[in-house]
Amino acid sequence: MQGLIVKIDARKMILEFGNISNFARQNNLPKFAIFDLLKKKDKPVYFFHNSQIKQTYDKLRQMGYVIE
């Protein structure tokens, strides 16, 4: 079983919104999920199906904040 390597562009978030909390608030995303994904940056992650962290990751990918 292989995990997904998480690569999120935190620098882009901070440059556009000032900090991660403002980014989460203005985009209606759970702050804890963003911080959890940032802690796991460049490490394999196993998502539970339909978890809030997986949904947040998918939204970040759609918004262009995930480095592929």
Compute the chain's Rg from CA coordinates.
11
**Start-to-end Cα distance in the chain:** 20
Quote the pTM value.
0.84
Alpha-carbon gap, residue 20 to 13, rounded angstroms: 7
Q: How many CB atoms lie within 10 A of CB 8?
A: 19
Model confidence at 55, pLDDT cuts 50, 70, 90, reads very high
Check residue 1 and give its pLDDT: 43
